[in-house]
Amino acid sequence: MQRKCFDKYISILKDLTQGSPGKLILYFALPMLIGNVFQQLYNVVDSAVVGKFIGEKALAAVGASFPIFYVLIALIIGIASGNMVIISQYYGAKMMDKVKQAIDTFYITVFFASLIISVVGIYFSEDIFRLMDLPEELMADATLYLNIFLGGVVAMFGYNSTSSILRGLGDSKTPLYFLIVSSIFNVIFDLLFVLVFHWGIAGVAWATVLSQAIAFIVGIIYLNKKHEVIRISLKTITFDKEIFIKSIKLGLPSGFQQLFVALGMMALYKIVNPFGTDVIAAYSVAGRLDGFAVMPAMNLTAALTTFVGQNIGANKIDRVKEGLYVTLAYSVAISLFFTIVILLWGESIMYMFTSDAQVVAIGYKYLQIVGYFYFTFSIMFSFLGVFRGAGDTMIPMIITLFSMWIFRVPAAYFLSKVLGTDGIWWSIPTGWIFGLFASTIYFKMGHWKNKSIV
């Protein structure tokens, strides 16, 4: 029964336990990479529309909102990653009944978690901004933007959950189509709501929420027509307590890892905020450009995680190592390319977002400091992807905790007293270097090989 069901879907989904690891990972990552280019482009459009047509205060308000939103969704992101590992390992072991149960349980968990996040986040949003020492002149815009965003978190989670499930099953192309739909609608709504309706920063928030809701609806329609195994039906959806507990055990370390990162971002903004609106705006824009630079490494690692999950499920350890080595080669090469682009043309790119020379100068200095170290992030992230795919999610959490809270945040605080904003920027590669050192050592120890749930 299991084998027959698996064979039925092998032509639709992707078995990563056979064939060249280099080709499989590259082909699997490519749709995600293209999709994230679209996502980053509509993030860039958001920032460009805000910076050029609303102003630097609104640009700073949008940037300050992101770490709070990230804190609120961090745990559920971790649980989602744990569930994706479960799905990929069950799929690698050809246990399709378990795949279906894991998917149903995932959707139910995400739905109720998103409702809680919306209510809690909206109620406490202004208090959190005050805790971060956000300048009073940015408070109204930042709170409005964040609350609208949180109101649509159910659609955002639904859309991203569907994409994650498909990737766990080896299908990275279909999520690309969903993302293209979302990106196109986001750009259209941005221009319509801001330039035509003059809704200001609220228009940018509504553009994101509505575009993701449309992509989620399109995704549900597609899945119900094309995929019997992952069809979403309120009549047949079931909750599996055993799989839920597994996903919690596996996902909570990743969730706490995401939470440590998010809280670290909030801590950095708390250090940045007293330097004023120009610095906050510059930090926000530079962060968008960082997103482009590290995006290929993150996509390749996402592909590697699914590759590792399926091959661990199939008990093919040697293929896991092969997959890691080709991922490292791809990631480092692409990271060095982005370093060159950022260093040569970073200043000109900054002017796409704002005409303020002071904001551009501060942001470009950030890029000059951080840009040299993109390759360290890429290598570190690849190792962590192997650990997560193998089901060893505790170690990435510990490494992230130390990188962020023992190295990056203290370094940002103390160096900012000596070097000003440059000290904050130097703290970022400081955390990455430690993460690279720790993850390399743990990989060589080999304990991650014995963490499979299948």
Distances (CA, A) of 64 to 340, 411, 426, 427: 28, 21, 20, 19
Which of 165-174, 374-383, 442-451 has the lowest average pLDDT?
165-174
CB of 42 closer than 8 Å to CB of 26? no
Which of 5-9, 430-434, 444-448 has the lowest average pLDDT?
5-9
pLDDT in tens, 96-128: 788 888 888 888 888 898 899 899 999 999 998
Q: Give the H or E element holding residue 26.
A: helix 21-49
Residue 396, classed as helix, strand or coil, is helix
pLDDT band for 451, please (50, 70, 90 cuts). low
pLDDT band for 247, please (50, 70, 90 cuts). confident
Q: Is the pLDDT of residue 362 over 90?
A: yes
pTM of the model: 0.74
CA 202, 205, 211, 214 dihedral sign is: negative
Give dist(CA 307, CA 170) in Å, integer: 8
345 vs 397, more confident: 345
Q: What is the mean pLDDT of residues 191-197?
A: 92
Cβ atoms within 10 A of the Cβ of 359, count?
27
* CA atoms within 13 Å, Cβ hemisphere of 151: 13
Q: What is the mean pLDDT of residues 422-441?
A: 95
pLDDT band for 187, please (50, 70, 90 cuts). confident
Q: Which residues contact 123 (CB under 8 A, 6 or more apart)?
A: none
Let me know the angle formed at the C-alpha of 171 by 86 and 69, rounded to the nearest 5 degrees.
65
Q: What is the pLDDT of residue 229?
A: 62
Terminal Cα-to-Cα distance of the chain (whole angstroms): 18
Give dist(CA 320, CA 385) in Å, integer: 11
pLDDT in tens, 391-409: 887 888 899 889 999 999 9
Smallest CA-to-CA distance from 186 within 39, 37, 353 is with 39
Q: Is the pLDDT of residue 372 over 90?
A: yes
Cβ atoms within 10 A of the Cβ of 444, count?
8
pLDDT band for 230, please (50, 70, 90 cuts). low
Q: What is the pLDDT of residue 18?
A: 85
pLDDT in tens, 24-54: 998 888 887 887 777 777 667 777 788 778 8
CB of 62 closer than 8 Å to CB of 47? yes
Please give the structure tokens belonging to residue 398.
């510990």
Q: Which residues contact 22 (CB under 8 A, 6 or more apart)?
A: 322, 326
